[in-house]
Structure 1
Amino acid sequence: MDDFVGGGPTGIEDVPEVGGGGRKTTTLAVVLLLLLLLSVASLLYQSLTGGPGRKAQFLAVNARCLVCHSEMEALLDRTSVHHPFAQQQCTSCHTTHGQVFEKRAGVAETAAESFRRACGPFIPIAALQTLLDRILGTATTKKWTTTSESKAKYSKDDLTFRVREESKLINTELRLCMTCHGNLGGLWQARYGHPPFIEGHCTNCHDPHASAFKPLLNQEPRQLCVACHPIAKELKMAQVHPPFEVQDCVSCHSPHASDDKVLLRGPQNVVCLACHPTVAPYTQFAVQHPPFQKGDCTGCHEPHAASVKPLLPSTEPGFCYKCHPEIQNAFARSSHHPVGTLIDCTSCHQPHAWHYSKLLLAQGNEMCFTCHGDKRFPYAYTPHNQVEYTSFTGACVNCHVAHGSDYRPLLADEELRLCWTCHPAYVPESKINEYLVAFENPPRTGFRPGLFESEGKDNTEGDLIYPPDFKRDFVRAGKSVNDLYRSIAAGITGTAMPTW
């Protein structure tokens, strides 16, 4: 054991005291270790938080590209970042290209410069390199020049370039996008496509790297569509469809392709009913308006904006006349309902679907009594209320037409001819008050059965039940039905109808 003590050839030599140079080396080692730990900690934190970590990965993988394209680093902080851009090499989409330094003449590139050029502006590494330059004295007076600067700025003695091909994608834009977005391939089977999509110009709408707007849109969604589809005029109309007003185009339209001509996301009625569920029950009603039955909502409504509520292209009744010209002709007659002034088509008809024929809001006389309620009570006590064989209830439309007529008040024919449809036109004078009008079983006879004789003598042995305050007047029948009609019309012989 003694052989190993002391300073002999086989012993352990005394370690010399560390002088000034040793202290400098130790300090440098400590600083480097601390910076290394800081860099590792930073990378670990970024990886765990899932945010800026992608920047570190991007910088590490694409350091060579960033020498010229340093502006791409800032894109990683945007809201929507394309996965290939953040996680893969640039050459997964792009060919190698541009001008690269073959050699640097005149000024030698230091290791520090090479390191800085390769690693770009990643802060921990950049700070480490700057410190190394200062400690080792390797900082140069001439900074490294990026290739984005013009070649003409330098003389042949400074730089020599090797020129590669221009920047290109490794495949056509559409094929390249479909490599990862193959789920969109099925849209090629759709009948209609958005021109940028079917022409393969994905970047007309999307940024291939990163964007502040999801999903990688080139502009704010509200502004992107209107860049090609101006809407300013429609936005100024009296009524604007809410989705259109906020320019949420994709709530109704597919941005890529659809089986619908205007690129709706589904069948028109399905898209509309998604926001208008109160209309959905009408699809189950017995009587359907043909456009509604076909799901053609825009057959009547404007999808974006209109000057007339509810999103109609024009006012009633003119709008309805486009499909119902025969009704327009009826309203042009001398006697007609005040449509277009006091009432509209939808005052009587449901525009989508309803329970009753012709989409009427009420059934039978009840529809008429909606406006003509004053006729409900007296009509119930007239013989005309009992001219129906089956229900023994008369109908307004037996004598009146609904829209327009040449005979007032909305009569289906000239008065006498109209009466003669139920009352024979010729009756022998001796039987003038006895001809049959079969509206009851047993049938009654005469104009006012049981009340008046042809001579005008009051005959009250009839068994009719009269309403309160019913006033009866004598009627001179005359020698013919025409005489009777004329005398009543002239007010000479009283009236055969009750008055209240």
Structure 2
Amino acid sequence: MSKQAGSIRKWMLALLAGAAFIGHAYAAKDVVQVGDAVCTRCHDEGEAKPVLSIGQTRHGTMADKNAGTCTSCHGESPTHVSKPSDVTERPKPTVNFGPKSSTPIEERNQVCLNCHQGGQRTHWQTGPHAAANMECTSCHKIHSHEDPVRDRQTQPDVCFACHKEQRAQVMRPNHHPIPERKVVCVDCHNPHGSAGPKLMQRDSVVATCYTCHMEKRGPFVRSHQPVTEDCTICHTPHGSVNDNLLKQRAPFLCQQCHENQSHQQMVPNPEGPVSGAASFATKLIVGRGCLNCHTNIHGTNNPFDDTNSGRALRR
């Protein structure tokens, strides 16, 4: 071997040794959080699952000392880190997530609640999602920097994966602008649990609706009782084939509470009062267009007297 070839060989060996040292140093470096090097030495950028992308989320930022580490969510997992010699397949972490997880759902969710308990998640344990044995990762993408359920453009699609009836309703001619993404699910609902019905953001349906429809709140001299009780008595909030999100069109919706036989406006009959079927037909004709006269359905400021009390008239 010539002197020149020997020099090249020594130079190449030194270069390979330096590369090996750098690679070893990188494998021992905490890539996401302090103490995660034991995980990132295997779960690196070549991992099939995008594990390292958690560094682009609030869970993986090294600037936040309160952010969790790999082991704070998955446990120490000693058998996963160092595979026992008597097994052929590496055991899963102590706490593992996903549809095929061997960890009880309560334990999986508790990992998240250790940091996220309180606030919007105060009522999680008593909510319908917890009762349905749903885990946090059913909706949230923890390692991904893009969490679809937290993005207003994609959030309804995540909810519609389970709530298919509501997906069909928002496609009806009259609907809240959910397909247009001007309104999304969390504007009305708190998926983590609520003290109100139907996971409402407020303690009642009407209080939640009033956050946008403030003109219906009043106060009015005369209030329409269903308005102060529950908006969904008359409206289908996600979508309807009727105008104004009504469950049925007038007069059929109104006649569920207001019997048409009791309408006081009668068609004049020159031959005198009529009775029986003719009287019923006459009243039905008059009561056909309730909103022609009763325009202030949600409440009216008409004075209290014998002629228009509680009639929701415009004057």
TM-score range, shorter chain: 0.5 to 0.7
Asked if the contact 1:291/1:297 (under 8 Å) is kept, the reply is yes
- Correspondence for 1:265: 201
Alignment partner of 1:298 out of 232, 235, 256:
232
Asked if the contact 2:200/2:208 (under 8 Å) is kept, the reply is yes
Deviates more, 1:160-169 or 1:176-185: 160-169
Separation in structure 1 between the aligned mates of residue 73 and residue 80 of structure 2, nearest angstrom: 16
Asked if the contact 1:81/1:210 (under 8 Å) is kept, the reply is yes
Asked if the contact 1:93/1:169 (under 8 Å) is kept, the reply is yes
Cα deviations across residues 54-103 of structure 1 (Å, max 9, x unaligned)? 56979734145438x9223x343479747169962347414344596678
Counterpart of 2:290 in structure 1: which amino acid?
Answer: D
Residues 81 and 201 of structure 1, relative CA distance in 2, 3 Å threshold:
same
- Correspondence for 1:321: 255
- Correspondence for 1:70: 47
Counterpart of 1:275 in structure 2: which amino acid?
Answer: C
Asked if the contact 1:96/1:164 (under 8 Å) is kept, the reply is no
Counterpart of 2:214 in structure 1: which amino acid?
Answer: P
- Correspondence for 1:221: 155
Larger C-alpha radius of gyration, 1 or 2?
A: 1
- Correspondence for 2:139: 205
Alignment partner of 1:242 out of 137, 159, 177:
177
Separation in structure 2 between the aligned mates of residue 311 and residue 101 of structure 1, nearest angstrom: 60
Cα deviations across residues 332-355 of structure 1 (Å, max 9, x unaligned)? 5465595455x4345235201111
Query: Where does structure 1 lack aligned partners over 5 or more consecutive residues?
Result: 1-17, 48-52, 104-159, 363-500
Cα deviations across residues 156-204 of structure 1 (Å, max 9, x unaligned)? xxxx856665544187112222112122662157xx6132467462232
Deviates more, 1:196-205 or 1:256-265: 196-205
Larger RCO: 1 or 2 (CA < 8 Å, sep 6+): 2
Residues 169 and 99 of structure 1, relative CA distance in 2, 3 Å threshold:
closer
Asked if the contact 2:240/2:246 (under 8 Å) is kept, the reply is yes
Tell me the CA shift for residue 319 of structure 1. 1.0
TM-score, normalising length from structure 1? Answer: 0.44
Residues 80 and 344 of structure 1, relative CA distance in 2, 3 Å threshold:
farther
Tell me the CA shift for residue 288 of structure 1. 1.0
Residues 340 and 54 of structure 1, relative CA distance in 2, 3 Å threshold:
farther
- Correspondence for 1:286: 221
Separation in structure 2 between the aligned mates of residue 301 and residue 354 of structure 1, nearest angstrom: 19
- Correspondence for 1:307: 241
Counterpart of 1:270 in structure 2: which amino acid?
Answer: A
Residues 101 and 316 of structure 1, relative CA distance in 2, 3 Å threshold:
closer
- Correspondence for 1:470: none
Separation in structure 1 between the aligned mates of residue 150 and residue 61 of structure 2, nearest angstrom: 12
Give the count of matched residue pairs.
271
Counterpart of 2:300 in structure 1: which amino acid?
Answer: W
Alignment partner of 2:116 out of 181, 190, 195:
181
- Correspondence for 2:37: 60
Query: Where does structure 2 lack aligned partners over 5 or more consecutive residues?
Result: 63-67, 97-102, 267-278, 303-308
Alignment RMSD? 4.6
Separation in structure 1 between the aligned mates of residue 110 and residue 235 of structure 2, nearest angstrom: 40
- Correspondence for 2:271: none
